[in-house]
Structure 1
Amino acid sequence: MTVSLERPVQAHGLTEQPPATKDLLERFAPVFAAIAATTVHSEATRTLAHDAVSLLKGSGFTAIRVPLEFGGSGATLAQSLLLLRELGAADSNLVQALRAHFTTVETLVSGTDAAAKERWLPRVVAGDVFGNATTEKGNAPGTNSTVLTEEEGRTVLNGTKYYSTGSLYADWIKVSADTATGESVRVSVHRSAPGVELVDDWDGFGQRLTASGTTRFSNVEVAAENIDASGGVEGVGFGAAYVQAILLVALGGIARAVRRDAVDYVRGRERAFSHGVGDSPQRDPLVQEVVGRISSTVFAIDAVLDAVGARIQNAAVLSAAGNLDAGATAELDTELSEAQIFIVEQTLEVANRLFEVGGASAASETRGLDRHWRNARVLGQHNPVIYRARAVGQQRLTGDHRTTPIYVGTTAPNGANA
């Protein structure tokens, strides 16, 4: 039986109440404001956001999902997505850079491994951050060229990863690797371990500060307790949706930033076009219409993301109770793909429309307004919309296709997966 994800689901046996959303927003508002004040300069000079990440760690933001009993904030999953959206309005780079961290923390919080919770959650509260090293070049989908082998009584890791988002900011790097027997595992490696090389070579025109560079592992010794079975939060019913939702809230943050910057830009203008229809930019009906359309679109994006957060929250509670069946999982994944199609396209639309509110001064690099479109375009390249739209169409028409899992790898010359 498929369980509805639309109605709120109450968790059974919950011993602590989550903090009020209003209190969380007020607590982190100064942190987000401080980050937003530096974003344009950081983007222009390509200054990696180490200071901003330190600020987030010191404020407890990176531990918002950690339960109160471990010293965290005890925020709900939906609250964490809302706060990440607010961070995205300050700097979308940081949301994507912390995607692996929040995914890892969610694995711990939603999992049943008590020993893992006791070991890692206090470290998260102390400020440890997780990064990612998953993607490779030349590997077949679902496999890893990075290997974990036994050599002279040691377990060592060797391989090269690309698009290692967030690892330059991280303390621990979660690495996907294959063993000699072909089993896929997740390995936790400290960034300072001998043989770990982090390279800042991400050259994308957007999301420049996500620290998505190359990571090399050369005979890195790995302790047995730092090797886990592959899967993590992506392996549970709501996991794929949660991982995708983090990218969507980053886009939602960009949309909010566009609305903010459109209003600030027009309010600060004094010059008007001779062929305009108002005595000031603020009173020009055409400019007002543009701002109104931007604001309306952002309202719709926010509404979709609110629904996404509620759906995933309910799915997580059902999953913890063992009541999230395959039908509900397929529907959740399809709904997230529907949300992705809308949010990607509409965020790009408002980021482009932003330039209609002014003249040449809107193109000034000192304003950095172009970063919104660039960042949204690069975020939209993840899990490309063309494939998600097709998958949704098939699911709605025939019900015989799930929109997950997603693997990337080299294909054979005839187009078939290698």
Structure 2
Amino acid sequence: MSSNRPDADALAQRFRPIFQQIAEAAPQREHERRLAHDAIDALRQAGFGALRVPRAHGGLGATPEQLFDLLIELAEADSNLPQALRAHFGFVERLQAEIDAERRVPWLRRVADGALFGNATTEAGEGTVGRLQTRLFRENGRWLLEGEKFYSTGTLYADWVSVTAQREGNEPGAYRTLAVVRTDAAGVERLDDWRGFGQRLTASGTTRLHRVEVPEENILEFPAREATSLPAVFQLFHVATLAGIARAIVRDATAFVQGRKRVFSHGSGTAPREDPLVQQVVGQLEATAYLARLAVQDVARALGDIDRLRQAGQPVPEAALVDVELRATKAQVVTTDAVLQAATRLFDVGGATALQEDRRLDRHWRNARTLASHNPVIYKARVLGDDTLNASRPTFYWAVGTAA
């Protein structure tokens, strides 16, 4: 084991008591639609956001494998939270993978000090695919940011927001520009207007930016036409969250059955826990959770191999980046269908009692369905089919909008 790698058991002991507290409050928080500021603050104070920051810059120095194992546990406690922190960890990964060393260090140190980062990337409306309407432009010697974003996941919890914009003078599509601004900066407005039926506490609403001043050192750029590991990182957050939901389904099904005494006259046991049909359902749920975790760990190992090459100063072969992108796609396809089925099958372990609103067992299906819709699985399955049939190269940077 590398001396720079923290001990996995020590990391688990550090965060599991917080995960337990989060899990205990999750159903009620979901029922009330109360944003999880207390849970995010507890994670921040324990250093969760600094997991992937190298120890040399004040972080915990965790590996990708360790990060995603912990994310599964956090998602089991409350599936909103890994998604709320997805942009934060994605920003940290991008710093280390795509931003020059001298530009990345100040940001990594901010993360080590407890700063959290949100995102403002996707634009609603009729904008053209691949062209951003949010502008970064010069005026009287200052860079100013103007635009509106939706699906700004985690930004209501964040200290900073990383905004994708079309920089004045840049060729559209050649580079991606990030303007990183404080969420309390003049001209930044954050709205809690996410109205999806699932993942309701991820703070995924609108961010409005009106003539926000951006210092030169807060503008980060990277090529948008090269192979990269970042799409796999972002997708694996959704897969890890689905894996955590699968574990939560097992947890809640087990607690429901073990505490239940009522049986059906046409059932197969003297108590629900003795009924072989109920045992079969719970066994299927357990197997789904096992499959989902294995899928996450497989992709995380590939990301870890890439990260170790970077840490050693070695080039990352494009073949490795293509491989991890396809692995993440396979994990998404197989895990999405399996967890959605498990979230429905959960209700086969009991009768109408399982439908009571205070239990909020429906949140597992709603949240899994929402995750599956963020990056529609049908298109990712098509990518796999195209690769299998035609050895096609995956698209690493994609966008939504109207056809040109």
TM-score by length of 1: 0.91
Q: Tell me, yes or no, if structure 1 residue 358 matches structure 2 residue 345.
A: no
Q: Tell me, yes or no, if structure 1 residue 26 matches structure 2 residue 13.
A: yes
Q: Tell me, yes or no, if structure 1 residue 167 matches structure 2 residue 167.
A: no
> Which residue number corresponds to residue 414 of structure 1?
none
> Which residue number corresponds to residue 205 of structure 2?
213
Q: Which aligned pairs between 1:278-357 and structure 2 lie closer than 5 A?
A: 278-319=269-310, 321-357=313-349
* Runs of 5+ unmatched residues, structure 2: none
Structure 1's 286 and 117: CA in aligned 2 closer, same or farther, altered over 3 A?
Answer: same
SS at match of 1:205: coil
Q: Which aligned pairs between 1:40-79 and structure 2 lie closer than 5 A?
A: 40-79=27-66
**Which deviations, in whole Å up to 9, do the C-alpha atoms of 1:275-328 show, x marking residues without a partner?**
111111111111111101111121111112111111111123335544432333
* In 2: Cα distance, 1:408 partner to 1:132 partner: 16
Q: Which of 379, 382, 396 is the aligned partner of 1:390?
A: 382
Deviation larger for 370-379 or 399-408:
399-408
Q: Tell me, yes or no, if structure 1 residue 94 matches structure 2 residue 81.
A: yes
Kindly provide the amino acid, as one letter, of the partner of residue 28 in structure 2.
H
Q: Which of 397, 400, 404 is the aligned partner of 2:392?
A: 400
* In 1: Cα distance, 2:101 partner to 2:201 partner: 35
Kindly provide the amino acid, as one letter, of the partner of residue 187 in structure 1.
A
SS at match of 2:17: helix
Q: Tell me, yes or no, if structure 1 residue 128 matches structure 2 residue 120.
A: no
Kindly provide the amino acid, as one letter, of the partner of residue 360 in structure 1.
A
SS at match of 2:137: strand
Structure 1's 231 and 135: CA in aligned 2 closer, same or farther, altered over 3 A?
Answer: farther
> Which residue number corresponds to residue 251 of structure 1?
242
**Which deviations, in whole Å up to 9, do the C-alpha atoms of 1:17-37 show, x marking residues without a partner?**
211212211211001001111
Q: Is the 8 A contact 1:263 1:291 kept in 2?
A: yes
SS at match of 2:196: coil
Q: Is the 8 A contact 2:150 2:204 kept in 1?
A: yes
Q: Which of 381, 385, 395 is the aligned partner of 2:373?
A: 381
* In 2: Cα distance, 1:319 partner to 1:123 partner: 21
* In 2: Cα distance, 1:318 partner to 1:363 partner: 50
SS at match of 2:23: helix
1:66 offset after TM fit, Å?
Answer: 1.2
Provide runs of 4+ in structure 1 moved above 6 Å: none
1:401 offset after TM fit, Å?
Answer: 3.5
Kindly provide the amino acid, as one letter, of the partner of residue 86 in structure 1.
E
SS at match of 1:164: coil
1:235 offset after TM fit, Å?
Answer: 6.0
Structure 1's 108 and 401: CA in aligned 2 closer, same or farther, altered over 3 A?
Answer: closer
Kindly provide the amino acid, as one letter, of the partner of residue 69 in structure 1.
A
* In 1: Cα distance, 2:320 partner to 2:15 partner: 34
Deviation larger for 296-305 or 171-180:
296-305
* In 2: Cα distance, 1:195 partner to 1:158 partner: 9
Q: Which of 175, 190, 196 is the aligned partner of 1:198?
A: 190
- Once the two structures are aligned, what percentage of the paired residues are identical? 45
Query: Alignment RMSD, CA only?
Result: 1.8
Q: Which aligned pairs between 1:253-272 and structure 2 lie closer than 5 A?
A: 253-272=244-263
> Which residue number corresponds to residue 145 of structure 1?
133
**Which deviations, in whole Å up to 9, do the C-alpha atoms of 1:114-157 show, x marking residues without a partner?**
33343122221221100000001222222210001122332211
> Which residue number corresponds to residue 83 of structure 1?
70
1:108 offset after TM fit, Å?
Answer: 2.6
> Which residue number corresponds to residue 267 of structure 2?
276
Q: Which of 113, 116, 121 is the aligned partner of 2:100?
A: 113
SS at match of 1:197: strand
1:373 offset after TM fit, Å?
Answer: 0.2
Kindly provide the amino acid, as one letter, of the partner of residue 193 in structure 2.
D
Deviation larger for 320-329 or 280-289:
320-329
Q: Is the 8 A contact 2:227 2:321 kept in 1?
A: no
Q: Is the 8 A contact 2:119 2:153 kept in 1?
A: yes
**Which deviations, in whole Å up to 9, do the C-alpha atoms of 1:194-238 show, x marking residues without a partner?**
111101100000000010000101111111110111459x96632
> Which residue number corresponds to residue 3 of structure 1?
none
Q: Is the 8 A contact 2:137 2:145 kept in 1?
A: yes
What is the aligned residue count? 398
Deviation larger for 101-110 or 390-399:
101-110
Deviation larger for 64-73 or 164-173:
64-73
SS at match of 2:5: coil
